[in-house]
Amino acid sequence: MAEMQNSNPTILNAADLPTRLQPTTRKSEYVGIFTSALPLAPVDFESALSSDSEDDNLLEEPIDEQEIYDLISSISDPEHPISLGELAVVSLPDIAIKPTLPDVPDSPLQTVTVLITPTITHCSLATVIGLGVRVRLEQSLPSRFRMDVRIKEGTHSTGDEVNKQLADKERVAAALENGALMGVIAKMMETCH
């Protein structure tokens, strides 16, 4: 890159980034939401032993906002060797998981909404960052998830334009077949595990 668009970005301390282990309020909220999913009574060992272990493998672990955050916060900024989490381009409160079809209670479809905050309002790399986030999620999450990756309102001069591109399935599919673009995105994801 010839010239950096933002040569001095604000960087968060890695220790301050949200993690599963941190005893924050976020965690207690997490437990609250998924209480029903956890075994309340002591585990019934007899039935646990008799149950087919393959059944357990088929059961998909519930995916929460923290897990989405962990997937995308480790992506590197295309300009800096710094993660999107450290740059606060992605943050836990800006991630939401909601049922895609609220009127169909037994539908497995869920929509993951990720709001991206570009480091500067005219950053032309916003589309690349958004695409990186969308590709990372599409490659990591089961197919029942629908991705809704958008620029956070008011944080970018051409946010609507970028959002329309990121939401366009056909454009995203074509981008995935574009070698040069995928090279950039692969480099951003080198820091992902």
* CA 113/CA 109 separation, integer angstroms: 13
Give whichever of 33 and 101 is closer to other proteins, judged by the CB atom.
Answer: 101
Q: Counting beta carbons within 10 angstroms of the beta carbon of residue 115, is it exposed (0 to 12), middle (13 to 18) or buried (19 or more)?
A: middle
Residues that bind other proteins (CB under 8 A): 100-101, 104, 107-109, 142-144, 146, 164, 167-171, 173-174, 177
Rg (CA), the chain: 19
Q: Which is nearer to other proteins, 122 or 164 (CB)?
A: 164
Alpha helices in the chain (DSSP H): 25-34, 45-50, 53-58, 65-73, 126-140, 159-167, 169-176, 179-188
* Comparison of 129 and 147: residue with beta carbon closer to other proteins: 147
Q: Which two tokens stand for residue 116?
A: 């991206």
> Are the CB atoms for 133 and 171 separated by under 8 Å?
no
Q: Least separation, in Å, of the C-beta of 131 and other proteins? A: 15
Between 4 and 104, CB nearer to other proteins: 104
Shortest Å distance, C-beta 150 to other proteins: 14
Query: Between residues 85 and 134, which has the closer beta carbon with respect to other proteins?
Result: 134
* Distance in Å, CB of 185 to other proteins, minimum: 17
Smallest gap from Cβ 135 to other proteins, in A, equals 15
| Least distance to other proteins, CB of residue 108, Å | 6
Burial classification of residue 166, based on how many CB atoms lie within 10 Å of its CB (0-12 exposed, 13-18 middle, 19 or more buried): buried
Residue that the structure tokens 């207690």 belong to: 28
